[in-house]
Amino acid sequence: MTGGAPGTTAPGTTGGGTGFHGMWRDLLPIGRHERSGGYRRYAWAAADTDCRAWFRQEATARGLAYEVDRNGNQWAWLGDPSQGGAVVTGSHLDSVPDGGAFDGPLGVVSAFAALDELWARGARPAAPLAVVNFGDEEGARFGLACVGSRLTAGQLTPRQAHELRDADGVSLPQAMEAAGHDPDAIGPDPERLARIGAFVELHIEQGRALDLGGHPVGVASAIWPHGRWRFDFHGEANHAGTTRLEDRRDPMLTYATTVLAARKKARLAGALATFGKVAVEPNGVNAIPSLVRGWLDSRAADEDTLAAVVAAIEQAAHERGARDGVDVRVTRESFTPVVEFAHELRDTLAGLVSPDAPAPVLPTGAGHDAGILSAAVPTAMLFVRNPTGVSHSPAESAAEDDCTAGVTALADVLEGLACR
Ligand code: HGY
Ligand code: MN
Ligand code: MN
């Protein structure tokens, strides 16, 4: 625990940091939709830009060295990154449509607050420390989750990224450029990853395991494999008032049957399957649709089960399509294999968070940047209790005491990993 880091001012000593509550208060109004009360912070759009300005402000207020990497991820460094063996913490600031306040931001705010707490304790890191905000984690705008971390880890090529488009036809490069980031710079960043000794992401739990067990904080064991599949149901547009039922080729019927089949196949396999997004053409009340496009999100404890569930849903769609005269095409838009977090780091975290009694270690069905990075660097996650388990909804919540416990746990982890 020696000395201040070169080129930086101690966090919490500049008077610029506003503490957990100040940071939370400043972030809260950004991108909040008045009617739904949920967040609409989409990658490279206005609310995201405001969140990114907030991150920069918090970094510079603490005298941390601020940088944006080639893929648009934001970093705030304490110490010299080129020293290697850095301990990095953070999460994301973007949201799903009408998301909650905690999924993502809790990890970034807690990261700055944990640095402040370290400093208040008098702990001085021997290894470089960084707070990171990974760009476009939710994939709400361009359809692919974890774009910032995937690009960095080389799991998404620049060419693939350049082909991504939002619902208005704006390409990812156009959106990046409009927000002031050079899209030609994107690509794998192995040198950056090589500097990281450990990445720890704190996140609100997206379930009720901690609540049921009476624990404020837990440690992640694994992330279920998951993916997104686009189902295109092509039928024939026609008049709703004059086309006999037996003459219709109605893709809405095939779609509806597929949604029910997805639920059943997932239930039978102990997996999850959700159609949460749908687009209809021409989308007229009095017209049979020509096309229904539905996006399936499916997850399971292992990859074989996931593959079997998706294959069964596809088969059900094709069978029903044959009856309805509807052509069904399925495209896999993304896939994330199972992630087993590094056992040693996971056990170290569990010991640091709760030295007297074992901290709960739990798997999750939700995807995270920590899962993407785990292929390249040792990663781990802390979860903070969510009393209702609700997430990806404005009703997402965490108690103030639990957020504080999360910051303390993260500070314990940073101190244990970086200050010895
Ligand atoms: O969809 C997910 O699992 C996420 O929360 N990124
Ligand atoms: Mn999420
Ligand atoms: Mn998240």
Q: 264 or 359, which is more confident?
A: 264
Q: 141, 164 in Cβ contact below 8 A?
A: no
Quote the distance between the C-alpha of residue 3 and its chain's center. 35
> For the residues 22-39, what does the mean pLDDT come to?
97
Name the pLDDT band for 412 (thresholds 50, 70, 90): very high
User: What are the tokens at 115?
Assistant: 């640095």
326-335 pLDDT, tens digit per residue, is 999 999 999 9
Q: How far is the CA of 367 from the centre of ligand 3 (A)?
A: 7
- CB neighbours of 281 closer than 8 A, spacing ≥ 6? 237, 289, 290, 291, 292, 293
Cα Rg, the chain, nearest whole Å: 23
Which atom of ligand 1 is found nearest the CA of 365?
3
User: What are the tokens at 206?
Assistant: 């997206």
The ligand with the least distance to the CA atom of 92 is 3
Name the pLDDT band for 346 (thresholds 50, 70, 90): very high
* Mean pLDDT value across the chain: 95
Question: DSSP of 122-188, one letter per residue?
Answer: T---SS-EEEEEES-SS-TTTS-S-HHHHHHHTSS-HHHHHT-B-TTS-BHHHHHHHTT--GGG-S-
pLDDT given at position 16? 55
The ligand with the least distance to the CA atom of 146 is 1
Q: How far is the CA of 203 from the centre of ligand 2 (A)?
A: 9
β-bridge partners, 219: 361, 382
Model pTM above 0.85: yes
352-410 pLDDT, tens digit per residue, is 998 888 889 999 999 999 999 999 999 999 999 999 999 999 999 999 999 999 999 99
Handedness of CA 34, 39, 45, 51 (dihedral sign): positive
> For the residues 251-274, what does the mean pLDDT come to?
98
Given a cut of 80, whether residue 14 has pLDDT beyond it is no
Q: How far is the CA of 306 from the centre of ligand 2 (A)?
A: 20
Which atom of ligand 1 is found nearest the CA of 368?
6
Q: How far is the CA of 43 from the centre of ligand 3 (A)?
A: 14
Residues within a 6 A CB radius of ligand 1: 137-138, 145, 366-367
* Local structure of 411: helix, strand or coil: helix
Given a cut of 90, whether residue 324 has pLDDT beyond it is yes
pLDDT given at position 2? 29
158-191 pLDDT, tens digit per residue, is 999 999 999 999 999 999 999 999 999 999 999 9
Give me the percent of the chain exceeding a pLDDT of 90: 94
